Amino acid sequence: MSKKNELEKEATGPLKGVRIVDLTSVVFGAYATQILADMGAEVMKVEAPSATGGGGMGGDIMRWPGHPPEGAPADLGPIFMTINRNKRSVLLNLGDEKAREAFLKLVATADVVVSNIRYEGMKRLGIAYEDVKAVKPDIIFAHAAGYGSNGPYAGLPAYDDLIQAGSGMADLLPRMDGNEAPRYMPTIIGDKVSGLFLVSAITSALFHKERTGEGQFVEVPMLESVTSFVLAEHFYDHVYDPPTGEWTYGRITNPDRRPYKTKDGYIGLLPYSDKQWENFFELAGRKDEYLSDPRFKDYKARTKHIRELYAMIEETTQLKTTEEWLNVLQPLSIPAVKMNRLDDLQDDPHFKEVDFFARYEHPDAGGYFALRPPVRFGQTPSNIRRHPPRLGEQTEEVLKEAGLSDEEIAALRAGRKAAE
């Protein structure tokens, strides 16, 4: 069993003291707000008592998929556990006027509101930017949208599958392997990439507010965010008007770009500079063959003929074990790494040394692993100080901080029960 870690007692990250009211659910917003929380922000996750698509079970829909341990509560599913630490859960039915008033009192104590509710829905609830700005003029209101509000898709529902389809991402695998059927990447990449854009947007808006005192409305649309991510390299020759050649960076869509088979497994291997390529083929006993081939004389030529070059690598890597290759490649600074299956990750010596899979003991779910924050701040380190919360676990605590009396909180609780 891995060593048990203890929660830190207080925030130490660069966002310590920043208060965020989090109306997001699923992955896009929740992934972003966990990163902000790891960096020290106080995140108050406002959840609805009625389901947001959760089959009547209430709260963030991502609470419910998966297989919690026997005896553990069902509202602590594995994806929720992975992206909702360092947050406090507040249960509010924002369709109720008293709950809306309580929400606005909470907003008055905050620096940031972040939501992925469609904007027309927020207007109907009376919690749009105009409403929250009336109670907190310097608020930063970050809207995690599907599509930019100034385009014809504004307001349409958006999920990762739709964004992969609309951004061109689903066209990448066909361009690589020749199978014309569009396919999605087997990860929620659209949500997570957009979440990183959202983190950047919120921290930039906080910096502006620190300098000027001004809050602002910030929109982070998934479609535009993911398309800019896809086209960073794959716009390629179409960046010019008129285009001078192809879509996609050929080295990346090369079907031979993959981990290479060794005698006992697979290796990730990428010589990059002229010297690294020369040294690799010297180790392989093919230096003269490589140097005499005009297809590989420089970076531009290698890029044009990358498929043939990668095929030569694959012919060569099968001559040694993975460890044998690493022992000769790494001293020459030729980039290489053992390929890990998912099953291998927790035994990887690097991850073990940095305690990336940090084990904690949840009071309700039992033992679990938290992925340690990957970014290291020398003076203001991120940390883990709260377990993922039960649905509505800190409602009373947070509402008291916002100035609500015991009687007001009891009335909200009674109103929820009456609506159930």
State residue 360's pLDDT score: 98
For every residue of 320-388, DSSP letters joined together read S-HHHHHHHHGGGT--EEEPPPGGGGGG-HHHHHTT-EEEEEETTTEEEEEE--S---SSS-----SPP
State residue 195's pLDDT score: 98
State residue 54's pLDDT score: 46
pLDDT in tens, 320-350: 999 999 999 999 999 999 999 999 999 999 9
pLDDT in tens, 224-246: 999 999 999 999 999 999 999 99
Amino acid at 323: E
- Domain spanning 19-230+377-419: which CATH class is it, in words? alpha beta
At the fourth CATH level, the homologous superfamily of domain 260-338 is formyl-coa transferase, domain 3 (3.30.1540.10)
Q: Is 40 in contact with 13 (CB distance < 8 Å)?
A: yes
State residue 1's pLDDT score: 61
> Distances from the Cα of 248 to the Cαs of 16, 21, 169, 236, 295, in angstroms?
42, 40, 11, 6, 20
pLDDT along the chain (420 residues), means of 10: 89 98 98 98 94 66 96 96 98 96 98 97 97 98 98 97 98 96 98 98 98 98 98 98 96 92 96 93 92 91 89 92 96 96 97 97 98 98 98 97 96 75
Is there a common fold for 19-230+377-419 and 260-338?
no
Distance CA 107, CA 130 (A): 13
State residue 416's pLDDT score: 74
State residue 418's pLDDT score: 62
37, two tokens:
């929380």
Task: Supply angle C-alpha 169, 170, 175, rounded to 5.
Answer: 90
Question: Helix H segments across 84-188?
Answer: 97-107, 119-125, 129-135, 160-166, 172-177
98, two tokens:
């008293």
Distance CA 60, CA 23 (A): 10
Q: Is 11 in contact with 383 (CB distance < 8 Å)?
A: yes
Which of 107, 157, 156 is closest to 133 using CA atoms? Answer: 107
Which of 241, 181, 24 is closest to 112 using CA atoms? Answer: 24
DSSP conformation class of 185: -
The residue ranges of every structural domain in the chain are 19-230+377-419, 260-338
> In this structure, what are the phi and psi dihedrals at residue 67, rounded to the nearest 5 degrees?
-130, 80
